[in-house]
Amino acid sequence: MTEREIRGLAASPGVGVGRVLLLEPADADTAPHRGAAAESEAAVAALGAVADELGARAERLRADGFGAEAEILEANALMALDPMLRAEVERLAAGETASSALRSATQRHADLLAALDDPMLAARATDVRELGRRAARRLSHDGVHPTADGPSVLVADDIGPADVADLRESDQQIVAIALAGGAATSHAAIMARSLGLPMVVGAGSMLLDAAPGARAVVDGDAGCAYLDPTPEREDWGRARMAALVRRRRRHARERALPAVTLDGRWVTLLANAATTVEVRSAIEMEAEGIGLLRTELAFLEARSWPTEEEHVAALEPLLSLLPGQVATVRVLDFGDDKTPPFLSGIDARGLALLLDHEDALAAQLRAILRAAGGASLRILLPLAESADQLRLVRRLVRQAASDTGWTSTLPPLGAMIETPLAVRRAQEIALEADFMSIGTNDLVQYTLGLDRSQPLATARSAAHPRVLQLIAETVVAAHEAGLTIEICGEAASEPELAVLFVGLGVDELSAAPARLDELRTTVRRISAEDAAGAAAAALSGERRDEQREVLGGLDGVVA
């Protein structure tokens, strides 16, 4: 048959080759209605069983070191116990079967989430739908997935994070996932990335025409699925899979070596984290500390500004793991795709929003100082856009130190440069900051107008000449003021882009813990001088053969 190329969105990197394992939607419920009491009791019992199942699976994930992934399933278990959801299921069960009531109630809740003007919250609609599907399957005693025979590519309209966790625990040989729907920001995509499963989402209904058992190749880097691939495509896919395994092993062997270029320039490798599991993973990967500790993710469901004690409770378990190491704590970065319910409809973001609520910011600053322990603390301000903002926060830090009895030198205060306006003011901001950080996710979005719901594409767009020029100007401003500057966006995790950042003079790279091994190997294979040449070429928009040589056999840079 002729190869069919189906394009979607890249959700989890890597390549998988196998036979199509089609997860079809469950058949409509044709069972007779047994009365309101019986149907209601059965539906509520099914929700309870799903909550117990998800809780048990979360415990197993946590025991295996997947704490952040366990928290996703624990949150889903709590949704299954939500009194409002249960009340609606009971109401619908008066006229529908338990299975139908479960699907209808969760679909209604999911539709409300999907309608929100917030990609992160809207992506959670899939989790709610999955609760209904899983509970309904329990009533019909259907299995979660069909049986795979050998290496397989799971093809479906959409799945939830628990479905991905199922694949890890089963004997199924699932090598990749391709979804007609879904989102790159969904919990299922997060779970797939954590477990190393290549994933493509948003590929469209044509994907569901795949014949069960047909050959398929999924390219999670390019966001593309190939049905009935040519022999050459299959050979490429298998070679790519094997090469990725070898590369991971090779990088791990160099973990204890310093990140120093061939001509002697030291690049500090830090990690991005939000959970204790990520901090532990960073330590295991020999990170030199945490370059971005996200604090808002613990409070995305908050009904009001977090209290000082709530901040301390969230931070202490993380900072206690970092005695003597750099711990860069970013204050709450609420707004846009990270908006809790109590801030619904706001326009302000990041530091501007916090300065509109000084009491909330002051409470967090006191908590950061109280929770610091023996960590080498730095405080990072998101979406900083003026020197006046830094002066205001520095006053609050001094007051927090007085209120908490802080006796050491005040922690360095950093400005996160994430907009073209901030870059234009970088020189004056640098005069008030103690260090600077560039958040490439937002810088790309505000400069090029890209959609943040495509994280891999957004990260790679940091190689656009306009974005690189803004980064270069920020680096110059920081160095003229004698400051250290880091990159802490998703782009820092991409080895090809890391080469350009080193060439532009960036001092620190803060990346996902899982990418540190590859970044270290990349830095050790290049010279800072050659990286500067590659950066100059990318800034001018050129594509030159010598760039591939500079990158030491990597895939090259496309600006």
| Residues 161-209 pLDDT 10s | 777 777 765 556 889 999 998 887 676 787 787 677 899 999 998 999 8
| 390-405: average pLDDT | 98
pLDDT at 550 over 50: no
pLDDT at 123 over 70: no
Match 């299922």 to its residue by tokens.
Answer: 188
Is 420 in the same domain as 324?
A: yes
Residues 6+ apart with CB under 8 A from 455: 184, 185, 441, 490
Q: Over the stretch 196-250, which tens digit does the pLDDT of each residue have?
A: 789 999 999 899 989 889 999 999 989 999 999 999 999 999 999 988 878 777 7
Is 64 contained in some domain?
Answer: yes
Is 412 in the same domain as 305?
A: yes
CATH of the domain at 199: 3.50.30.10
Give, as one character, the DSSP assignment of residue 96. Answer: S
Is 453 in the same domain as 543?
A: yes
Is 89 in the same domain as 5?
A: no
Give, as one character, the DSSP assignment of residue 57. Answer: H
Is 507 in the same domain as 524?
A: yes
Tell me what the pLDDT averaged over the chain comes to: 84
Phi, psi of 293 (to 5 degrees): -105, 105
Is 504 in the same domain as 530?
A: yes
Phi, psi of 308 (to 5 degrees): -55, -45
pLDDT at 301 over 90: no
Domain limits for position 453: 263-550
| CA dihedral sign, ordered 487, 488, 489, 494 | positive
Phi, psi of 288 (to 5 degrees): -90, 15
Is 241 in the same domain as 364?
A: no
Of 187, 251, 311, 464, catalytic: 187
Is 558 contained in some domain?
Answer: no
Is 528 contained in some domain?
Answer: yes
* 3-state secondary structure (DSSP) of residue 397: helix
Last residue of a domain, one of 106, 141, 176: 141
Is 458 in the same domain as 341?
A: yes
Is 396 in the same domain as 339?
A: yes
Is 200 in the same domain as 223?
A: yes
Q: What pLDDT is recorded for position 347?
A: 87
What stretches of 141-286 show up as alpha helix (H) in DSSP?
A: 161-169, 187-195, 231-253, 276-284
Domain total in the chain: 3
Q: What pLDDT is recorded for position 554?
A: 41
Judge whether 224 counts as a catalytic residue: no
Is 155 in the same domain as 281?
A: no
Residues 6+ apart with CB under 8 A from 341: 301, 302, 303
* 3-state secondary structure (DSSP) of residue 486: strand
Question: Strand 485-487 vs strand 15-23: parallel, antiparallel, or unpaired?
Answer: unpaired
CA distances from 514 to 90, 328, 416, 439, 494 (A): 44, 19, 23, 19, 11
Pairwise CA distance, residues 213 & 211, whole Å: 6
Is 152 in the same domain as 125?
A: no
Q: How many CA atoms lie within 13 A of 544 on its CB side?
A: 16
Partners of residue 124 on adjacent β-strands: none
Tell which residue, 460, 546, 549, has the closest CA to residue 498.
Answer: 460
CATH of the domain at 116: 1.10.274.10
Q: What pLDDT is recorded for position 246?
A: 83
Judge whether 187 counts as a catalytic residue: yes
* 3-state secondary structure (DSSP) of residue 520: helix
Phi, psi of 275 (to 5 degrees): -130, 165
Of 109, 145, 224, 488, catalytic: 488
